[in-house]
Each structure stands twice: as structure tokens, then as C-alpha cells.
Amino acid sequence: MSIFEEKTYHAKCGGLSNEGLGVARIESDKAKENGMKVFVEDLLPGELAKIHITSREKTFAYGEKAELVQASPNRVTPVCSEFSRCGGCQIQHADYSCQLKMKEDMVRSCLHRIGHISLNDLNQLMEPIIGAQDQYFYRNNVQYPIEYSNTKKSVNIGLYEKKTHKIVEHEKCYLVHPSAEVIRGVAQIYFSDHSRSSLAKHLCQLIVRVGFFSKEMMVILVSTRPIKLDAEDFVRECETALSKAQIGMHISSIWTQEKKSSTRKGSSDCWTNVWGKPYIHEFLEHRVFRISPDAFFQVNSKQTVQLYSKVREYLRYDGALPRLLVDLYCGTGSIGIFCSSVCHHLVGIESVESAVIDARANSTANYLENAEFFCGKAEDYDFGVMMPDAVVIDPPRKGCDEKLLHELLRLAPTRIVYVSCNPSTLARDLHRLFQYQETNNVRYAIRSICPVDMFPQTVHIETVVLLSRDR
């Protein structure tokens, strides 16, 4: 036990961090640590606990819970027996109403602290969070690590324990679509057969992608060396198990992905479609989307409809349909195509070539004649004389490049819809945009902010922000 762990403090939790840790303050008038901010696992807002400090930084500390003195009325027993060990969920110990409030507070806190937006303005601008109808079994994409045991000549397939690369043996994951767990069970037995040990020892990951509405499934086996898979035999085993489980899903595509060394310059992974179609489909409202093995697609199909519907609503903010809508970081074109009915012409920009190919195919499959998709980095793209009325941005977690923010001010669309999966980088980008516009003749104002819960039982949250041009 370290010198910090020997002393116990009373601390009250006031909120949740972006990582799902309780943000507590030490309450002890006699201790020099009184008022210190401590991040503690397994604490909910309003709870009082006895804690040990495990490590200190300059302005805060990390601690662990020694005893829960006063529990929150929102604390519940997690449905998953491995919740305390597995790194997949962070807030399964809170009821869903509490989860939604914590996520709203997280968005509000980031926009206030990092984005420098006043709390009064935020209270007026923020819409109520859009919660999920299904809080479990919603993920359409899961990546299971595979561990091979040389002594047992078998594989273990599961999810990683928190902060480790140790696989947690679990009965089922309550986040992923049940069909993915069926495939995991089949693969565990199939690749543990001694006759397949030469293949199994090179496997490092099992990826399952599910068309929630299309009922199509894709299985990707990731390896460190070339592997020879009897795909027909593996599919038969999977289909038998899926039929027995009466889930109504079927395998449509099998891929292998050979991982190349990250230290070798110019090397790229080798993808092979070993069985079935090279892609699966998913339906969102009246639109159909093709999903390739490496393509990004939102992990919660049902909530994606809610998210994209909010984007579509914001695009019609002033009642006028945009003549030209530019969709940046467009991926497979899902947002733009979903919203194509509210614009006269759509242009999508995406840096991943395979995603652009999918976007063009999706445009054709949905009979769109007003859409074009181009390959290039959003921040480096030459927009030329393009004059969009509206721009949608859906960047990765790291947010937007500063060059792109400057380019947005030059393009000066009448409205910008920012879709973010990271409240911190969203707040940073909004603050930068408002700073940069001080030297421009263009002025934007936030009109509305709406959090959308795409990831129940986790701390992750999507946020949609509408900005419109004042002049």
C-alpha cells in the first residue's frame, strides 16, 4: 500500500468525467486536501464515499472507493456480471434517466469550460437529449480480440478487461446485437479444434458487422499471417447456430484481413473476400446503404435515424431548401444521402477511397441524380468557386483541422451543421471558429444544440449543433 492509500477521505461526487469516472471533491475541513478534485471509479453524481488517493497531479488526484457512505437513488445493479471488469461499459450502474442527465451535463460542461459559451446561453440553446428506445443489444459492429493458448491449443474470444489486454470470459455482451455473440460462440469452438491450430494461432481479431434492419451479417477474421479458411464449412456452422437461436439473421459476407507490420513503410493490410458478397446493406428509413468491411457506419442503426433526422431538421432551419449541400467527412455518404430530399444538389468529400466508392454506389442505389462524391481530405480540398448554402461536418473524434475552419468562413454557407462524437473537440472547434471569424466579415451564431444518445451504458454521446450566418 502506498503512502497515499493509507489515509481515508470523505468525498462527494458532483459529476462524471468523459471517461466515466466520478468527479468528486474531498470534504474535510481539517485536511489540507479539502476541496481537492479526485477522479474515482464507480461513483455517481450526488454520492458520498470514503476514498483513498492513489496518485496525485498538480491540480487533481485519482482515487479509489473504499466505502460507499450514501448511495444515489439512481444506482442500479448492472445486468452484466462482468461489468466491473470489462471495459465495454462505463455507466451500467446508473439507471437510464441518470445516464441521460449525466450526458447532457457532460455536453453542457464541455461547451461552457472549453467553448466559453455562457451557461445562460446554453440553457436556451440546448434541446432535451434524444434517448434510445433500446438500451441494450444495439451495437451493429463489434471487434472481439482473439487470444491463442499454446498450452491448450485453443482460442479465447471476448472483450478486454479495463486498462489491460487480458480477455474477459463472459457469457454474453449486453451491448452488441445477439447475432454477433452467436458468431463469437461458434468461432471460439471452431478455431479451438486441434485440426485448425495452425490457422488459429495467427488470428488476432474477430469482427462482426450487422445490418440491423437488412438482417445481413459480415464476418471479418483478422490475422497476422496469411490464413487458409474453409469458408463454406465455417458459414455452415454459423448458419446452423443462427437458425437454432431463431434470431432471423444470415451470413452474407466473409472477409479476411491480414495485418501488415506498422513499422514497414508503405505496407497496407491485405483484404480478401473469401465468401459471399463483398459488402452488406443497411436500411435507414427509405434509404439503403452499402457497407464495405472497412467502411465507417454508425454503430446504432435505430438511433442513427434519430440523429440524421435532427440533421435534416436543422438543414431546413430557415424554411428554405439549400441549393447546394456539402457533406464533409462524408464516409459512405450516409448523412448526405439521408438528407438529400432537403437540398437541390449534394456534394460529399471523403479521404478514404473505398468509402467514396461506397458513397457513389449508395447514391445510385437510392436513385439520386443530384449527388456527387469526391475523394480528398476536407481540409485540403480545393472548393474553387463552390458556394454552398449549407455544410454538414461529421469529423472523427479528434475534431476539425484548423485549416478547415478557416475554409468554412471563406465558403460562408448560410448554415453549418456540426455532428460530433466528442464534446471536448466540438467545444474547442466552436471556440476556434468564433475566434477566427473576428478577422472576417462573416459572423455565425449557434441556433440550437441537441445531444443524441447513440451509446447507452457508455459515456459516449453524439451532439448536433446548428450554426447560422448572421451576416
- Strands, E, within 175-249: which ranges? 203-210, 216-223
**Catalytic choice (86, 89, 421, 450):** 421
The per-residue pLDDT for 75 is 97
The CA distance from 193 to 218, in Å, is: 23
Residues 340-380 have pLDDT tens digits of 999 999 999 999 998 999 999 999 999 999 999 999 999 99
Query: Does domain 119-132+300-469 sit in CATH 3.30.1450.10?
Result: no
H/E segment holding residue 419: strand 415-420
Q: Look at domain 8-70 and name its CATH class.
A: mainly beta
User: Domains of the chain: which residue ranges?
Assistant: 8-70, 119-132+300-469, 141-284
Comparing C-alpha atoms, which of 300, 343, 303, 256 is closest to residue 139?
A: 300
Residue ranges, the chain, pLDDT below 50:
1-5
Q: Which three cell numbers stand for residue 170?
A: 463472459
Residues 13-69 have pLDDT tens digits of 998 888 889 999 999 877 778 889 999 999 999 999 999 999 999 889 999 999 999
CATH topology of domain 141-284: OB fold (Dihydrolipoamide Acetyltransferase, E2P) (2.40.50)
Per CATH, 119-132+300-469 and 141-284 having the same topology is answered no
The per-residue pLDDT for 4 is 47
Q: The pTM is what? A: 0.92
- Whether 450 sits among the annotated catalytic residues: the reply is no
Question: b/e map of 170-181 (b: 16 or more CB within 10 Å)?
Answer: bebbbbbbbbbb
The per-residue pLDDT for 254 is 98
Q: Which three cell numbers stand for residue 144?
A: 472481439
The CA distance from 420 to 148, in Å, is: 37
The CA distance from 254 to 233, in Å, is: 12
CA dist 126 → 105, 122, 129, 318, 449 (Å): 11, 6, 8, 18, 5
H/E segment holding residue 430: helix 423-436
The per-residue pLDDT for 1 is 42
